[in-house]
Amino acid sequence: MNLYYRFKNWCVANKQELGFGAVIFLVATASFGLGYLANRENTRAPIVIEQCASSTPSTVK
């Protein structure tokens, strides 16, 4: 039970910092989610490579 009371007292002492961290976490999560949803509509066709060009010439003089 000693660990419980130590954790509880730590939370009470750092209440403002915990709230600030929670706000930052929620804003970051919301911005990521909204950005993901906004970009889902703009789907582009994938790039397809049909023939690979050789990097060395076939004839050497």
Looking at residue 1, its pLDDT comes to: 77
The full set of domain ranges for the chain reads 2-40
Write the pLDDT tens digit of every residue in 2-58: 999 999 999 999 999 999 999 999 999 999 999 888 877 667 788 888 887 666 666
How far is Cα 33 from Cα 42, in angstroms, rounded to an integer? 15
Instruction: Convert 42-59 to b/e letters by CB count within 10 Å (16 or more is b).
Output: eeeeeeeeeeeeeeeeee
Are the beta carbons of 16 and 9 closer than 8 angstroms?
no
How far is Cα 34 from Cα 28, in angstroms, rounded to an integer? 10
Position 46, amino acid = P
pLDDT at 59 over 80: no
Looking at residue 55, its pLDDT comes to: 66
